[in-house]
Structure 1
Amino acid sequence: MKKKIFIAGGGGMLGEGFYQVFKDEYDLLITDIDTNEPWISYLDFRDANEYKKQVKEYKADFLFHLGAHTSLEYCDKNPDDAYETNTLAVENAVHISNELNIPLLYISTAGIFDGKQETYDDWDLPNPLGHYARSKYMGELYVKENKGKHIICRAGWMMGAGPKKDKKFVQKLMAQLKEGKKELFVVNDKLGTPTYTHDFARNVKLLLENEYWGLYNLVCGGETGRFEVAEELLKLLGKENEIKLTAVDSDYFKKEFFSHRPASERLINAKLILRKCNIIRDWKTCLKEYIDNYYQGYLD
């Protein structure tokens, strides 16, 4: 009989990746406040009683808590909602999974570091800068301190799910190209690591099936920055000679993106490498696959 996974907050780009990777070998109940797919049912996981009721009724073998407010600006403008969604709801997930004695997956972020180092491994100490980072880190700490069998995975710059769900950097660039922009302004003072949702989900599956509980950095291979990602994207699209790429510093976008961001969010998958289960690929390989699979005909 297939094992059952209850996925809370699975309506976004990461949920789509988990659905594609897990659906054939597991029974899934995927929930979200935004029921934007036929395979998603409604749940506001901030409602602790309803959250518990649904997980119990499903008789889940695993609980995956994926959802969060991920806009730094939204979190800084609405701190109460940020902590209710990104911290308290995670505490709900811990209580539920403890009561049912099932393992819990929680998704953390590279954004919990202050950016003063060039790179961060799994044992570097976080120092969150704003309400988004702080609310996510408090969730991470609560899971670590109060949950036995758990997996915490820190993701980098997420890419996946295509134009319908991707609200991040790659889609923002693609949308500008679709609008017919001939010049892209891209910051050159922010370092990080792209993370392809499908590879991320596959690596989580490997950890789960090996019962390698604990905290892991989980990002694509290769160190990079926003500007290099934009360069590679134009190359993949064959547009490097027709689109001008202009480097700017973060102040250029200060009005829209006013929240403080770390200068470097580069993670190293040190624990995965030592455990010999780092199967997430280089970011350039993943970017190519992502564009090939999700953006065919998008710019036509």
Structure 2
Amino acid sequence: MKSLGKALAVTLLTICYIGTNSGVSIADETPFKDVLSNHWGYSHIQWAVEQDVVEGYPDGTFKPKRTVTQSEFLTMLIRAANPKVIPDDSSTTPWEEPYITYARNLGWKATSPKKKLTRGLAAQLLANATGKNYDLKDSIQYMLDLGLAQGISGNNIESYQANQEITRAEAVALIERFSMKYNELHNVSPSLEIYSHADLFHKYTNSTYHFRLEIPKSWDTRYEVRDQSVGNSHHLNFVNTMTQGTLFTISVWSKSDWAEQEEEIKGQIPAVQVGERGNQVYVFHTPTDVQYDPSNDNAKNEYQGMFLDVQNIKSSFQISDK
């Protein structure tokens, strides 16, 4: 049985693997002396600089812990989504005025440009950028459900800590995630809207294996489920139809087989047991390989934008009687 476990892990690792010789190119060293390669925001900062969303300081630092103003955040966001909308004119006084005017013309909550930006207002501005006019709590829940933001100590409104000021590293991380899902900025209605969780998700029910999930409505027509059998286990691969890359897998095992194989499988792939039904064990795992062609920006954005939803989908797993 040990050989089965090893073979199974290899199979799961290579499901829909794309581009064996085309890994993502990442610089060996950061251009900033205060952002080492092991900094949690390293890749986000690299992205922001490469996309001309933000710059470092003349002394060679980025100052990732420095808090940002509303003006600075709006400037980053507008540059990321629509870099040509504001002419590059250093003579503008004050420099941020064109960005503030642009945001206000779209109906966004750009209230106090010079003030430090809180996590709550950042959520509202990002919700505005998607075309939604929600209050503070609805904006935060909307961002959490979209997978664009995370709480500090949990994934709920309270743990999001809306009043905490946001840092430069946090700002570019939020904006990069936004850019994975959205490539344009939207107007908002002057009327306050009410957010409903059902606006974003629909129920996926698998009657063969008796479980259900909440799948984002934005995934409609963009994924399919492929049932693969390996030995006595079944593996339901949720695949992005554009890249043919696996987004996540739910494996269904017998309890005895999982008990025997669990240690070996977990040693090779990220696998988490999410439920049991009778003699069945359900295991959730995500790919460890690149699932898109890194040289194709459309494919990369398509896959990464959907992958942001995977943790929320995992949290929604439930056993079903159907």
Q: What TM-score range do you get, normalising by the shorter chain?
A: under 0.3
TM-score by length of 2: 0.22
Query: Normalized against structure 1, the TM-score is what?
Result: 0.24
More helix by share: 1
